Amino acid sequence: MNALLVYPQCPDSYWSFRHALSFQGKRAAQPPLGLLTVAALLPASWDRRLVDTNVEPLKEADLVWADVVLLSGMLIQRDPLLSIVRRCRARGVRTVVGGPISSSLTPDELEADHIVIGEAEGLVAALARDIERGVAQPVYCAAERPSMEQSPLPDLSLVRMKRYGTMTVQYSRGCPFNCEFCNIVEIYGRRPRTKAVAQVLAELDQLCAAGWRGPVFIVDDNFIGNKVRVRELLSALIEWQREHQYLFRFITEASLNLADDEELLHAMRDAGFASVFLGIETPSEASLAAANKLQNTRRDMLASIARIQSFGMEVMGGFILGFDTDSEDVFERLVQFIQKSAIPIAMVGLLQAIPNTRLFQRLSREGRVLDTGGGNNTSCELNFRPHMNADRLIEGYRFVLRRIYSGDAYFERVREYLSRCRPHYGAHFSLANVRALFFSLMRQGVIGKARLSYWKFLLAALTRYRDCFGAAMTMAVMGYHFQVVTEQIVSAEPS
């Protein structure tokens, strides 16, 4: 049986990092880890190939080769995913769709021959057996959430690593919190499940043996969701990193209560965590409470962020506009908050009512849902009726983006981040780094709209931040991506 695993294209957004990655000759941020895990679960007798359409086209010859095409994706990939499903069906190739999108859309909406709802570990063996026998069902739905200790070593042999900016490892799934807008708890549950420490170390060994040197994103929903287990992991990571001369720079996602746990902060720093993404959402206490983001309430969030940064970790932040309790002053407050936070990478989006969330259910009851939405929270297309006038909300959203991604505002945050964290990565000599520096000087320093701010920053990087010049230039290049995407968002025609 020839199994073709296909990952649909992700649209250009803040999360794609596409415009920064091109400086280094990379094509996408990270490989599709879910499909690499599915590949490892398929019967050993099956031949398998991967086409990640973010880095290469899906060719007719691929479809001629395939007996079955397995697709995975998120809601944001719906349109490209559907176009691949239709292409396969037109050629008579059997299709299977799984991943988070199958929990957001109905089987009919996905149009595939077989839909897999739930996590692959408990389903792929039965699906493969039924396909071989010619008795595969239209829908496979996991009866329970599997133990992550059943999860195999992802099949890295299918990936050309040089095309990607970051490699990925998953340690846990699920999150103990219950934010109203989030679909993580609905899909993966509130009791975080983790891999065994040995599994994670085996994945790092695999990356190391395959020649990967660079950032590794631990793509957990909330890395500190199970604090007892994560302490065990961190002890092992510290040892592994020491034995391997701190080969990897880790990035992960966590909740803001990380700031309250000094022991955990020390351990993450010692294990080589350089960046952590936090869902901060909004400076409005009322909106946090209404969204049930209680872990961010009753605290000085700026102080919590600064505390995490004081352990050398860059904080990336997720922010949302469009809560029912947002008032007219939320836009200016958010700009001020982000500037004070020294968070260079601020992912600001509009609230989306994702199907299968408590928010979607509430808004449906209130008759305010317009459609299932496209999963892209920067698209300026609301899929529900907000309390604030919709045009005003979108105008305010664009105001925030224009302000925080103006050259001066962005580089001011980077300078403050460098002062607080003194990060020491990215300074080694490599062709990719030289290429990135050259393109940065050309695109940002010569023809870039923010070139004045850029040169001021470069001067500071060469004087005040010489010890962290590599990180400074990495952040400059990142800024280019955010400025390009911001330009697209603010100049798009109102829908």
Q: How far apart are CA 14 and CA 274, in angstroms?
A: 19
Residue 339 class from Cβ within 10 Å (0-12 exposed, 13-18 middle, 19+ buried)? middle
Q: In the complex with ligand SF4, which residue's Cβ is closer, 318 or 396?
A: 318
Residue 447 Cβ vs ligand SF4, minimum distance, rounded to whole Å: 39
Cβ nearer to ligand SF4, comparing 127 with 219: 219
416: contact with ligand SF4 by CB under 6 A: no
Q: Which of 110, 169, 175, 388 contacts ligand SF4 by CB under 6 A?
A: 175
CA distance 282 to 336: 11
Using alpha carbons only, what angle is made at residue 478 by residues 476 and 479, rounded to the nearest 5 degrees?
Answer: 65
DSSP classification of residue 11: P
Could you tell me if 145 and 193 are in contact, meaning their C-beta atoms sit under 8 angstroms apart?
Answer: yes
Binding segment for ligand SF4 (CB under 6 A), chosen from 130-138, 171-179, 197-205, 464-472, is 171-179
**Residue 259 in contact with ligand SF4, rule: CB under 6 A:** no
> Is the distance from CB of 128 to CB of 46 less than 8 angstroms?
yes
> Given the rule CB under 6 A, which of 25-33, 178-186, 304-312, 394-402 is the region that contacts ligand SF4?
178-186
Question: Can you tell me the distance from the alpha carbon of 194 to that of 223, in angstroms, rounded to the nearest whole number?
Answer: 10
- The one-letter amino acid code at 271 reads A
How far apart are CB 328 and ligand SF4 at their closest, in Å? 25
Q: Closer CB to ligand SF4, residue 43 or residue 189?
A: 189
Environment class of 328 (CB within 10 Å of its CB; exposed 0-12, middle 13-18, buried 19+): exposed
The verdict on 222 binding ligand SF4 (CB under 6 A) reads: yes
Q: Decide: 240 and 198 in contact? Cβ < 8 Å.
A: no
Q: Does 182 bind ligand SF4 (CB under 6 A)?
A: yes
Type of residue at 8: P
Nearer to ligand SF4, 187 or 380 (CB): 187
Is 321 within 8 Å of 360 (Cβ atoms)? Answer: no
Which residues are bridge partners to 107 per DSSP? none
Is there a contact between 271 and 263 (Cβ–Cβ < 8 Å)?
Answer: no
Q: Which stretch binds ligand SF4 (CB under 6 A): 137-145, 148-156, 174-182, 366-374?
A: 174-182
Taking the complex as a whole, the smallest distance from the CB of residue 321 to ligand SF4 amounts, in Å, to 15
Residue 316 contacts ligand SF4 per CB under 6 A: no
Name which position in 6, 38, 184, 400 contacts ligand SF4 (CB under 6 A). 184
CA distance 495 to 374: 14
Judged by CB under 6 A, does residue 185 bind ligand SF4? yes
Which of 99, 279 has the CB closer to ligand SF4? 279
- Distance between CA atoms of residues 494 and 353, nearest Å: 20
Residue 179 sits in the site that holds ligand SF4 (CB under 6 A) = yes
Q: Reduced to 3 states, what is the DSSP secondary structure of residue 320?
A: strand
Q: Which is nearer to ligand SF4, 222 or 474 (CB)?
A: 222
C-alpha span between 296 and 289 (Å, rounded):
9
Nearer to ligand SF4, 69 or 184 (CB): 184
Is residue 177 a contact residue for ligand SF4 (CB under 6 A)?
A: yes
Give the contact letters, 472-491, x = binds to ligand SF4 (CB under 6 A), - = no: --------------------
Is residue 217 involved in binding ligand SF4 (CB under 6 A)?
A: no
Q: CA 346, CA 348: separation in Å to the nearest integer? A: 6
Q: What residues pair up with 369 in beta bridges, in sequence order?
A: 384
Number of residues that bind ligand SF4 (CB under 6 A): 11
Q: Which is nearer to ligand SF4, 52 or 186 (CB)?
A: 186
C-beta closer to ligand SF4: residue 186 or 314: 186
Find, among 490, 484, 341, the residue nearest to 409 by Cα.
341
Between 179 and 458, name the residue whose CB sits nearer to ligand SF4: 179
Q: Which is nearer to ligand SF4, 68 or 182 (CB)?
A: 182
Taking the C-alpha atoms of residue 199 and residue 312, their distance in angstroms, rounded to an integer, is: 27
State in angstroms the smallest separation of the CB of 184 from ligand SF4. Answer: 4
C-alpha R_g of the chain: 22
Task: Quote the least distance from Cβ 117 to ligand SF4, whole Å.
Answer: 19
Taking CB under 6 A as the rule, does residue 224 contact ligand SF4? no
Cβ proximity to ligand SF4, 212 vs 273, nearer residue: 273
Coil, strand or helix at 487: helix
Site for ligand SF4 in 277-306 (CB under 6 A): 279
Among 72, 103, 255, 341, binds ligand SF4 (CB under 6 A): 255
Q: What is the chain's length?
A: 495
Backbone angles phi, psi at 374, to 5 degrees: -105, 5
Smallest distance from the beta carbon of 195 to ligand SF4, in angstroms? 18
Which of these ranges, 81-89, 181-189, 226-234, 452-460, lies near ligand SF4 under the rule CB under 6 A? Answer: 181-189
Cβ atoms 173, 191 nearer than 8 A: no
Residue 182 or 388 having the CB closest to ligand SF4? 182
Asked if 221 interacts with ligand SF4 (CB under 6 A), we say yes
To which residue do tokens 């919590």 refer? Answer: 304
At 12, phi and psi to the nearest 5? -65, 125
Which structure tokens are listed for 418? 């460098």
Candidates 87-95, 98-106, 177-185, 388-396: pick the segment binding ligand SF4 (CB under 6 A). Answer: 177-185
Binding site for ligand SF4 (CB under 6 A): 175, 177-179, 182, 184-185, 221-222, 255, 279
